[in-house]
Amino acid sequence: MAASIPDQTRRARTFSEATSSLRNLLGFILAVLLTFLGLMAITFFIGRVVPIDPVLSVVGDRATQELYDATRIELGLDKPLIVQFFAYVKDVATGDFGMSISTNRPVAEDLARVFPATLEMATIGILIGVFFGVPMGVLAASKQGSWVDQIVRVLALLGYSVPAFWLGLVGLAVFYAGLGWVSGPGRIDIFYDGVVTPVTGLLLIDSLLAGDFEIFKNALGHLVLPASILGFFSLAYIARMTRSFMLDQLGQEFVTTARVKGVAEWRVIWLHAFAPIRVPLITVIGLSYAGLLEGSVMIETVFSWPGIGNYLTVALLNADMNAVLGATLVIGAVFIFINKISDVLYRVLDPRSRS
């Protein structure tokens, strides 16, 4: 009888943990759904109240009143806004974002085609930002007040103040037109377009999967300059925040104690001071990555990059509200996804958050 008490306690603990995990999972799903629904509502109603008539975008400004009215009814714009919204939510739940006026194709197909281009460029950009920005921030904090610190701070200031379109144009003028080190605008040379069968949508990976290193080299030549410019902007933000976090940690008593004990300086910096900033640094990197995915409109425009930013710009100019709403929802979903990934990494790196 006594031996069964620990078993009962163990079962009760297991049941309690399972119930808690299920509750957390359901809460997570509900939070994501409510956030996404709120994003849809804000985007939809703003799209309906802006002074853009989607009917005129379809029929033109010389159409007859009869054609205008028929098109308005066909698009469902004669119904109350709340009815239009719930109809749109129902369509989105089935993966239907409507038809694009600009391309005359389903918006879902357009987004599946253009988003990988932005993802590829932004991923290379954030890798550059992380691999250079974090060490630069740590070095600047450890050499506070030195010339190294001053250089990092100036670079961070330039990353905040220099317009993206200006830096893109200067980069093209210097490294493409002047020195010829990189390829020009576009994602790939025109005579290579369509040679590689899309698998992931990421041209570098697809060309490697196809074993075509000539296309890989060409695609990399087009990618390196816009990705480096995006990487510079993310580097500036990441380096600045890393420096700020490290300065706070280097002033803590446990760091002073480690130095008094004779611990090597590199161990003090990387094992003692850097370890506590990994968790807040995840948020910085995540927000920077999401910002590159969402804020690369100017770079994509300058470099004629066929990504979601360029697609969104064209849609806005053509009053293509289905495309605008669809692209905005994808960008919002990316923010939500990256935030949730950050929450998971919190639990991995900081055991205290698991409670």
277-333: per-residue pLDDT in tens?
A: 888 888 888 888 888 887 677 888 888 888 888 888 888 877 778 888 888 888 888
User: What residues have CB less than 8 Å from 71, skipping those under 6 apart?
Assistant: 55, 58, 59, 63
CATH classification at residue 307: 1.10.3720.10
Domain assignment present for residue 51? The answer is no
pLDDT given for residue 242 in this prediction: 92
Predicted confidence (pLDDT) per residue in 258-282, tens digit: 888 887 888 888 888 888 888 888 8
Q: Is residue 337 part of a domain?
A: yes
Quick check: is 11 in a domain? Answer: no
Is residue 127 pLDDT above 90, yes or no?
Answer: yes
Is 302 within the bounds of a domain? yes
Using an 8 Å Cβ cutoff, are 173 and 302 in contact?
no
Three-state SS annotation for 254-288? HHHHHHHCCCCHHHHHHHHHCHHHHHHHHHHHHHH
Q: What percent of the chain has pLDDT over 70?
A: 90
Q: Is residue 50 part of a domain?
A: no
How confident is the model over 68-90, as a mean pLDDT? 79
pLDDT digits (tens, 9 = 90+) for 97-115: 888 877 888 888 899 888 9
Q: What is the pLDDT of residue 1?
A: 45
Residue 353 pLDDT class (50, 70, 90 cuts):
low
Residue 149 lies in a domain: yes
**Domain, as residue range, for 135:** 107-354
How many domains does the chain divide into? 1
Residues 321-330 pLDDT 10s: 888 888 888 8
Structure tokens at 278: 């990994």
Count, in order, helices (H) and strands (E) of the chain: 15, 0
Per-residue pLDDT band for 354 (boundaries 50, 70, 90) equals: low
Average pLDDT over residues 135-151: 89
Domain-located, residue 249: yes
Question: Which one, of 204, 177, 210, lies nearest residue 188 by Cα?
Answer: 204
Residue 131 pLDDT level (bands cut at 50, 70, 90): very high
